[in-house]
Amino acid sequence: MADKKAAAPADNGEPERFVDGYLAYLLARSSSLISSEFNAELATRQVPVMHWRVLVTLLDGAMHVTDLAQIVLEKQPTMSKIIDRMEKLGLVQRQPGIADRRSTLVSITDEGIEVVTPLLQVAKQHERDVLAPLGDKNARVLVEVLKKLIALHAP
């Protein structure tokens, strides 16, 4: 309750605290809150968050570790260790790159597909639940604006 009161606008329409209107904070805070809801579901299914991110990303096809790390928001050396663990669990496999045999591609295995597939519906329902209070139009606008921000600021 104290958090909601502190976030209330002052009489002049301005937030009481800088962070209450600061875009980077608002994006991070909303991401943290929304992600923690879904991450709790992953925990009940004993699927580590990073395994979910990797598996769902690899459903679209094999990728280089560096590209995968960028998409799942992890540093490349840590990503390599995660891939090592996932490979031992039979969820992913490494293969030589097509154009450059020195590079390595990571792809999802049949077992990885079995783990991630039931979670897709859970993730989609969670997303619908999060966006529903905004209404369809506002939800679409929010998603499009976020995509545009990402495109404008991606390396």
Choose among 62, 122, 116: nearest CA to 94. 62
Phi, psi of 63, rounded to the nearest 5 degrees: -145, 160
More confident residue, 102 or 37: 37
pLDDT band at 101 (very low <50, low <70, confident <90, very high): low
Cα 112 to its chain centre, rounded Å, is 17
**Token pair for residue 24?**
């980077």
Helix, coil or strand: residue 106: strand
pLDDT for residue 64 is more than 50: yes
% of the chain with per-residue pLDDT over 90: 81
Q: What's the one-letter identity of residue 85? A: R
Average pLDDT rounded to a whole number, residues 55-70: 96
Res. 4: pLDDT tops 60: no
